[in-house]
Structure 1
């Protein structure tokens, strides 16, 4: 009974993914379990990696109150996934990113504002879906901001309105001058931030 209550608490409360939560939980159970038993229990709930590496589990992030699903395998063509699965794929890479600014953005708000939705455009008469490739720091940070930023703009920027836009996301999301010096997430993704409408240092 005791083990089940603790397991339920660990699974449901973000507190236990913090260092203070881990210390409290260890103190609470230390008199009842050996070190080896505690190690197995912590490992089964991914708490050791959360404590040692500072990496939150994917299920810490939620969409409309529901934890993001874990993908069974890595997709060869992520742009063909549903919006919720694509978002899980993106967040899974963001949460383990080596870039500090990316981790700060995505860890700062775990209740997502929106899902990743890719834009569609016509090429030679055919509709094609944009692809998202997290290959550079700007692409990581822009994708993180797209998920958690409340927009300050009411209209899309010049580049997002253009057929030549290389930003992948369906919405133009700008967070004001404090975020990417005013540029929207699509312009940040495509490294064109300084060229277009919302950039604050023109």
Structure 2
């Protein structure tokens, strides 16, 4: 499907060099995406590929994707096309935007904030990963439910290890609220009230005090 030439799209403040996975908002000046070529095979830079994808997304029939673009407006990072080795040569993986999950994954990649900048899911670390995004990008939890954009693209968002970790942490939090002993994590502390944190701190101090007394008794036996 050939894309009509859209109005120039502003990238949110900042533009890393082509091939960089840095967040664009970390740089001080904004740029304008170039006019996209009519065909993906005519794109030779990350900027051109990003512009081509944005143009295609603006023509999508999927309202959720259009709503994401309308809500965030500014592109926050480039699309870095994953490459795999075929017949001894590195070649870009093929991708399509012909389903709602596929189009949504690109909209989330390009337009939403990144929730996690350090963790990589198991699918993206696999040698069998077909991307199509070179980065394992976990979008804002309000939109991707914790899954990375590659897993969303492949229709396996519910199996993404990043999402499963969050679901387990939420389950632990529910168990904590039900007075069952949870595994205390930073995420549980983040959602706890000040009163709960103060109570836990008091309990920890009391327990450490009791253990110190026991150790002292053992030392004098």
- Equivalent residue for 1:59? 8
- Equivalent residue for 1:187? 151
- Equivalent residue for 2:135? 171
CA distance in 1, matches of 2:77, 2:140: 18
Alpha carbons of structure 1 residues 114 and 129: separation in structure 2 relative to 1, 3 Å = same
Of 68, 89, 114, the match for 1:126 = 89
**Matched positions, count:** 145
Larger Rg: 2
Runs of 4+ displaced beyond 6 Å: none
- Equivalent residue for 2:34? 69
Q: Displacement, 1:176?
A: 4.5
Q: Displacement, 1:124?
A: 4.4
- Equivalent residue for 2:75? 112
Cα shift readout 1:9-57 (whole Å, capped 9, x = no counterpart): xxxxxxxxxxxxxxxxxxxxxxxxxxxxxxxxxxxxxxxxxxxxxxxx4
CA distance in 2, matches of 1:171, 1:90: 16
2:122 is paired with a residue of what secondary structure?
coil
CA distance in 1, matches of 2:120, 2:40: 31
- 5+ long unaligned stretches in structure 2: 1-5, 15-29, 169-221
- Equivalent residue for 2:52? 89
Answer yes or no: is the 8 Å Cα contact 2:11–2:33 preserved in 1: yes
CA distance in 2, matches of 1:110, 1:176: 15
1:59 is paired with a residue of what secondary structure?
coil
Answer yes or no: is the 8 Å Cα contact 1:139–1:188 preserved in 2: yes
2:8 is paired with a residue of what secondary structure?
helix
Output aligned runs, 1:16-35, within 5 Å: none
1:199 is paired with a residue of what secondary structure?
helix
Give me the CA root mean square deviation.
2.3
> Please, what TM-score do these two structures have when normalized by structure 1?
0.64
